[in-house]
A and B are shown apart, each in its own frame.
Chain A
């Protein structure tokens, strides 16, 4: 039988490089590809060159060492419209976006997977720390947390469809980071100068507020208030604050205060105490399920509302075609509009959605 063909998404980093090596060892026919997602000048780096050319060259070098074919796909238009513009728009609407989730949805498991199919590949592979398998009993592909919980990336992959899961391999997910690093080292795949991947790749200096104001202009100052309208001070533009933030707001009060909401209509930053920053309920939109086709009755599970956070017990209720309501057993801190809520059944991802609203 002909070898199955896999196109590995390569960043030039340790994880995706080791993933290629593991696939080759398993007997797949592997080619690699890097996505060219933005030009330096688009993200405020003055040098006028393609994307992060160093990353592309790192990936190319790894491909050369492993003896596999290598491509570069220019998805800069898609990345701008689906990820960068969405990032700015969400912030301006008072939300806290998660661009990695959008990128996975539209780029890695969208454009990249489409391109791979078109080129006749059976699967794509990524260096994500998760595992997946087909469950005969339910007839569904399942997504499971990584063996290395500290590296687990299931939170950013909840949006995967059955079709996407069926065509994606996660070679590193069954191992832990030290094992992966060892594989990369043994095979000379470590790039000494490689930085750890950034939180947001297109904002390398981490100054997301500047990224937004460069595109949307300076945001107006306004009042910082308590929920009873008591004015505490002035804020320097709502995009500079995140829900749950305690330090750096610049107000003092008799008890610790947290950002509890951003009132975009009145341009006010609303502060509250430890109790007020917690939510009992949230509504999620754009919901995708993995273990089930759709939610028809209330379900006990756990949920996570941020990337690096412990999941907490809750009940989810079906409310519409792709919406759901989540009720936490214990009020949950800093639930932010725009972030994702991901539901778990033990180690398995049930599904998740985008947080649209929350309530105490």
Chain B
């Protein structure tokens, strides 16, 4: 019998779709021109990049394709947006940045870097559901605020933040607004020409294009300063020969991603709810992290007492389930999640978390399999966990793992 494999880590990355792959392949072999070359092969590549730019702009409801700047991915887009805004802000004496304490490291570490260079950063605290309100943003805006950066959907607990309202507040106050929408493509409807979002980051591999391609949307009229200097690609704002094949793939993939948002959300939410309800019912001393409302349709994040996340992930891997816990550390191990700590979890619960993120490839059979494997895995790990035994002893909990 073939070993089962369930991929439940779609917030980490996704596979490349057939449409995206077929679209990109010619640009690796036959159509390998450099878009900056003036002969036909080069111009064809330039046309393909422009077409993708148009597709991305359309998918996001941007006013014009020239508002899309291709990057190497979401992290570069976040860095570009925030560092550019900081640089322009500083020229006008604005050295204050507002963000949240549940952002991705691409935003948090960029802000920390700017703090070392004389910027002051306000990290708005998310509530226990992982939400930061427009009111919080409004209260934090100052005369010298250069940019507000608030993510659209949190990558760990799937909370959907009120970016439309936050955008309105920023517009009212005349402050630039950036959102990291890396997790939101194919989940939320964007109509950027009618939304008060000045900059928005996306990452191709989160919606079935290859890794190594992303984009920053920059509303016309918003100043943008280069992060990477060199040639005049991307209208002089992002040097480096374009990742033509990746860009072409992303154009196709984002078109597919936004064409079925409502159907996707209904399908994923059904599977998600089945997972949440059954896990909480079947496994004692488990809790859902983040709220049920305003939650991304594919996100499940549950903490188990007496469990150590890294062990759980490895144990699930043995059973053919790919999931995550905390934030992936560069070494290939797992660091406790700053997001779970930010929404009020203690260290034990933050370390004992499991994130399952569903995507287009998941089926009801996948959910059946997870629900079959997870309770027994948790039970087995608890039966071997000194932490669980201590909890039972100290809190007088009968240990159900003992026969």
Contact = CB atoms under 8 A, between A and B. Distances in A.
Nearest to B331: A50
Interface stretch (B28-36, B308-316, B395-403): B308-316
Contact of B384 (A56, A77, A118): A118
A118 B330 contact: no
- The range of chain A's interface size is 20 to 34
A53 interface: yes
A114 B384 contact: yes
Nearest to B309: A74
Contact of A53 (B109, B315, B331): B331
A57 to B, nearest CB: 9
Interface in B343-386: 347, 351, 381, 384, 386
Nearest to A57: B331
A73 B384 contact: no
Contacts of B288: none
Contacts of A21: none
A72 B331 contact: yes
A70 B333 CA distance: 11
- The range of chain B's interface size is 10 to 19
A71 B384 contact: no
Nearest to A119: B314
Interface in B291-344: 310-311, 314-315, 318, 329-336
A73 B308 CA distance: 11
Contacts of A34: 331
Contacts of A53: 330-331
A53 B329 CA distance: 11
Interface in A33-78: 34, 36, 48-51, 53, 56, 60, 70-74, 77
Given A117-B384, A118-B311, A118-B381, A74 B334 contact: yes
B331 A56 contact: yes
Contacts of A60: 332
Interface in A243-292: none
A120 interface: yes
A145 B211 CA distance: 51
A115 B311 contact: yes
Nearest to B332: A72
Given A118-B311, A118-B315, A73 B381 contact: no
Contacts of B330: 49-50, 53
Interface string B129-152: 000000000000000000000000
A216 B314 CA distance: 37
Contact of B333 (A49, A73, A119, A120): A73
27 contacts: A34-B331, A36-B329, A36-B331, A36-B333, A48-B109, A49-B330, A50-B329, A50-B330, A50-B331, A50-B333, A50-B335, A53-B331, A71-B333, A72-B329, A72-B332, A73-B333, A74-B331, A74-B333, A74-B334, A77-B336, A77-B347, A114-B386, A115-B314, A118-B311, A119-B314, A119-B315, A119-B318
Given A53-B331, A74-B329, 16 more contacts: A36-B329, A50-B331, A53-B330, A56-B332, A60-B332, A70-B332, A71-B332, A72-B329, A72-B331, A73-B310, A73-B333, A74-B335, A77-B336, A115-B311, A118-B311, A118-B315
- Top 5 nearest A-B pairs (CB, nearest first) are A74-B333, A72-B333, A72-B332, A50-B331, A36-B333
